[in-house]
Every structure is written in structure tokens, then in C-alpha cells.
Amino acid sequence: MIGTIKLYEPKKRLFLKINHTLGEGIANLLSQQLLSGRLEQQQRLLVQSELKLVQAQINPHFLFNTLNTISAITRRDPERARQLLLHLSLFFRKNLKRQSGLTTLREEQEHCQSYLEIEQARFGERLTVINEIPPHLADMQLPSFTLQPLIENAIKHGICSLLEQGWIRLFAEEGPEGVTLCVEDNAGAWQPGPQGDGLGMSIVDRRLKSAFGERFGIQVQCEPEQWTRVSFTLPRQPDSPSKEIT
């Protein structure tokens, strides 16, 4: 029991049945509102927990590969190795500071840039990154930790499977409903279903829908052995400060 609702009548009047029914109705309404509030809070905590899970999973695997890359580069190019260590430090610093609310596209791209610098050092000429997102979209708001898992997925499940040169293209398409951001690779290795999407993509999809509504989740298009395009749409937004995802 959370509380009690008390209804009073003047002392000389009987407590009418209609008032009793009214009291029960008010109590039921408040109970439903409290239950709905608890459910929303639990869903929000679940999304936040899932985000922390993805962050925890990426770090050991990514760190292992990065340290091996830096170790190999140190002997032949110490300055390049030093730059990669700085990118690694910046990536983890931003990763640890990521909150569950909204951030700007500019900050998302800065986070991804450090990640891509390291991955390009690992793959060398096998990986080309093409960033065609126009600067005037930099202040658009989106859930933090949205782009990087999609880029990582393109590398892990796409570029890694290629024997020839791979590329990742980031671009935006502006339309009447908003701006669609796309991450595209030339592997065409995406497989439909839960295993094909991966945990990171599934969580990004849920966080986008939580922030903007069911229409704004992840979309995947694939031409097998040609290309895979993962996209999501950000609704047109007035200038507003960052806020928590509810």
C-alpha cells in the first residue's frame, strides 16, 4: 500500500453509493498511473543497463586489438604509435563519460573519429573511411553511443570478411520527416535475424525508439556481397539543450 484516499461527507448526510463508486474509480485511476510510471522507469533503467553492457563488452576486445596494433607500429614509426595512444586515450575517456541521454552529432562524430583512426591503423590500406555528413547537421541531437556501435558492426561483420579493400561511408539524407544518417560498407555480409543484427545494433534501435518514437528505429538494407547500409532517421528538431531519454 502506497497511500490512502479519504472522501468526506457532511456529518448529517449519508455516504452515498455513488460517492463510494467515485472513490473506487479515483483509487483505480491513481493505481494505474503509478503502475505506468513504474513501468516507464523500469524500461528506462533497462535501456541504461543495456548501454552499459555494450560499453563493457566493446572495451576488452577493442583494447586487445589496439594494443597489438600499437605494439607492431612502435618499432617502425614511434610517432604514429604515440598518436594512436592519444586516440585510444581520447576514445576511452569519452566512452567512460557517455551518459544515457542525448548528445550532439558533433560529439558522436568526434567519438567515432578516434575509433576509426585506430581501426584504420589496424587495417592499413584495406580500410577507407568516407565521411560525407555535412557540417550544418553537427548540432542535431541523438542518443549518445549511437554511431560507434554501427561502425564497429560494419567493420567486425563486414570489412573483416573481405580479402580486397573495404570502405565505410558515412552520409546523411535530408527529407521532410527529418535527417537520415547512414553507415554503409562494401561487404554486403549482413544476415537478417537476431544473430545478424547483433546486440549493439539491437540496443541502438531500442534507444532511438525510446527517444523519438517507434518510427525512428534502425533500418537495414543489403545487396549480398555488394553493400550493407544501416540507417536511422532523426526527427527535425528545434534548438534545445541535451536531455535525458525517457
Which three-class secondary structure state does DSSP give residue 99? Answer: coil
Rounded CA-CA distance 241/121 in Å is 36
pLDDT of residue 33: 64
Provide CB contacts within 8 A for 246, sequence distance 6+.
40, 44, 210
pLDDT of residue 241: 43
pLDDT of residue 130: 97
The angle subtended at Cα 119 by Cα 135 and Cα 114, nearest 5°, is 45
- Can you spell out the DSSP letters for 128-143? EEEE---GGGTT-EEE
pLDDT of residue 85: 92
Q: What is the mean pLDDT of residues 229-239?
A: 88
CA 3 from centre of chain: 39
Q: What is the mean pLDDT of residues 125-132?
A: 95
Asked if residue 175 is part of any domain, the answer here is yes
Instruction: Indicate whether 145 pLDDT > 90.
Output: no
Instruction: Count Cβ atoms below 10 Å from residue 155 Cβ, excluding itself.
Output: 20
Asked if residue 198 is part of any domain, the answer here is yes
- Bridging pattern class, strands 127-131 and 102-104: unpaired
Instruction: Indicate whether 221 pLDDT > 70.
Output: yes
Contact 234, 179 (CB under 8 A): yes
Asked if residue 3 is part of any domain, the answer here is no
Asked if residue 142 is part of any domain, the answer here is yes
Percentage with pLDDT > 90 across the chain? 45
Task: Please indicate whether residue 63 or residue 7 has the higher confidence score (pLDDT).
Answer: 63
Asked if residue 243 is part of any domain, the answer here is no
Structural domain containing residue 51:
46-235
Instruction: Indicate whether 108 pLDDT > 50.
Output: yes
Asked if residue 185 is part of any domain, the answer here is yes
Closest by alpha carbon to 119, among 162, 167, 79? 167
Asked if residue 61 is part of any domain, the answer here is yes
pLDDT of residue 90: 87
Which three-class secondary structure state does DSSP give residue 125? Answer: helix
> What is the number of structural domains in the chain?
1
Asked if residue 12 is part of any domain, the answer here is no
Which three-class secondary structure state does DSSP give residue 225? Answer: coil
C-alpha separations of 227 from 21, 113, 171, 191 in Å:
63, 22, 14, 12
pLDDT of residue 240: 43
Fill in the DSSP letter of residue 226.
T
pLDDT of residue 115: 92
Rounded CA-CA distance 148/153 in Å is 8
Task: Give the N- to C-terminal CA distance of the chain in Å, as an integer.
Answer: 26
Q: What is the mean pLDDT of residues 149-156?
A: 92
Contact 59, 149 (CB under 8 A): no
Q: What is the mean pLDDT of residues 64-85?
A: 90
Least confident interval from 55-64, 74-83, 213-222: 55-64
pTM over 0.85, yes/no: no
In CATH, what number is assigned to the domain containing residue 127? 3.30.565.10
Contact 175, 234 (CB under 8 A): no
Residue type, 246: T
